[in-house]
Amino acid sequence: MDAMKNLVTAYSTREFLDRPIAEDTLKDMLRAARWCGSSRNSQPWNVIVIRDRATLRALAEIIPYGKHMASAPMGIAFAIEGAGRGQSLDAGRISQNVMLAANAHGVGTCISTIADDERDRQACALLGVPDGWSVRSFLSIGYPRPRTPEEAAAAKARPNRGRKPYAQIVSYERFGKPAP
Amino acid sequence: MDAMKNLVTAYSTREFLDRPIAEDTLKDMLRAARWCGSSRNSQPWNVIVIRDRATLRALAEIIPYGKHMASAPMGIAFAIEGAGRGQSLDAGRISQNVMLAANAHGVGTCISTIADDERDRQACALLGVPDGWSVRSFLSIGYPRPRTPEEAAAAKARPNRGRKPYAQIVSYERFGKPAP
């Protein structure tokens, strides 16, 4: 896939076919994870690949808005060492790189996150994540279930579907200043 | 550029040619920003494109490890609405998407960040960023200055250059469990 096309087409997928992810695709997702940049090249992460159905179901219970993980053929949990703002930014970078690698292979993903400390502890306990680490971002991963024409029409009509216009999200030199 | 190649070659660039960024490239960077996913599609961002030398120099003073911004032909400041962990993760996602769009066009970037609140306030004041927003992640952007053979050799010898081996950053089913 073309690099730019990949960057503007990585939508969320929440319903998946019952079909395992091709090994070459997983390999590329892990390659994208490994070569992702991070603050001072700290690479503060461990990428946990999950295919065990019981674990995926348990995570779907722990993660708010994570129900889609229960029926995904694969999941990834990003364990992150340290808990500062910088680590959250790095978690965003690696999530994005891995989602984009999946998208380049026609594989859909949906990211979900844990904000509160208690659920973080539950997820750490489930996955054996040690002290000093947290696990707050997750991907559900699979081939997208094709939509029926009715579903496609409903999705198109959803108000929250698109993106804000450029004038609302881009400024020049100072916040709110339009293009010269 | 091929999508996978793009994801594994986006290294940091800190020294730039004195050459403005092509308008089509900037357009693609902003397209990648706009179509980046975010938590519940909140798009909590404003992308401030900066070419004014005085502003770039002032930011280079405010941002720790941001000296490279002083001589970059262009900078971007990501203003983010809200200050939670989720917003930092979204800031990481949009930074990554914009860096990748630049890389796809042969343009180098270096990300730098602000952790402390006082510097955040200084950057907000400089850029006119309103209350309730913060500005903590930045890109220096430009065509990479070619390295001399000596510099290339020195870079190759730097201990912190590469990436951890897969065994250290990937687990299966549980933290630390190797591939089946």
Structural domain boundaries in chain A = 3-169
Report the pLDDT value the prediction gives residue A151, as an integer from 0 to 100: 86
Q: In CATH, what number does A3-169 get?
A: 3.40.109.10
Q: What per-residue confidence (pLDDT) applies to A88? A: 94
Q: Do A2 and B7 touch (CB under 8 A)?
A: no
> For the segment A13-63, what is each residue's pLDDT rounded down to a tens digit?
999 999 999 999 999 999 999 999 999 999 999 999 999 999 999 999 999
Q: What would the pLDDT profile of A155-168 be if each residue is shown by its tens digit?
A: 888 766 689 999 99
**Which member of A97, A136, A175 has the closest CB to residue B128?**
A175
Position A100 scores a pLDDT of 98
**A37, B86: Cβ pair inside 8 Å?**
no
Helix (H, G, I), strand (E, B) or coil at A12: strand
- Residue A180's pLDDT is what? 87
What was the pLDDT predicted at A154? 86
The three-point CA angle A77-A83-A87 to 5° equals: 70
Q: Is B123 left (phi over 0), alpha (psi -120 to 50) or beta?
A: alpha
Is B43 in Cβ contact with A171 (below 8 Å)? no
Q: How far apart are CA A66 and CA B38, in angstroms?
A: 15
Nearest CA in chain B to A106: B3
Contact B33, B94 (CB under 8 A): yes
- pLDDT at site A92: 97
| Radius of gyration, CA atoms only, chain A | 18
**Residue given tokens 């065509």 in the structure block:** B143
Among all chains, which residue has been given the structure tokens 């510099």? B151
Q: What is the pLDDT of residue B81?
A: 97
User: Pick from A5, A113, A173: which is nearest to B39 by CB?
Assistant: A113
CA–CA separation, A14 and A138 (whole Å): 13
CATH number of B27-138: 3.40.109.10
- Report whether pLDDT(A70) > 90: yes
SS3 of A111, please?
A: strand
Cβ proximity of B111 and B118 under 8 Å:
no
Please answer yes or no on whether A174 and B127 come within 8 Å at the CB atom.
Answer: yes
Q: Using an 8 Å CB-CB cutoff, list chain A residues near B37.
A: 10-12, 99, 111
DSSP alpha helix (H) spans, A9-116: 23-34, 53-62, 85-104
CB atoms within 10 A of CB B151: 12
pLDDT for position B160 = 64
Q: Tell me which residue has tokens 């006119």.
A: B128
Q: What is the pLDDT of residues A78-112, one digit of tens each?
A: 999 998 889 999 999 999 999 999 999 999 999 99
Contact B95 A101 (CB under 8 A): no
B85 and A55 within 8 Å at the Cβ level: the answer is no
What whole-number distance in Å separates Cα of residue B166 and Cα of residue B156?
Answer: 20
Q: Hey, of A7, A14, A112, A137, which one would you mutate to test binding to chain B, going by the most B CBs within 10 A of its CB?
A: A7
Nearest to B8 among A35, A45, A160 (CB): A35
User: What local confidence, expressed as pLDDT, does residue A157 receive?
Assistant: 81
Could you give the CA distance from residue B82 to residue B77 in angstroms, rounded to a whole number? 15
Min distance A39 CA to chain B CA atoms (Å): 8
Residues of chain A contacting B46 with CB distance shorter than 8 Å = 168-171, 175-176
Residues of chain B with pLDDT under 50: none
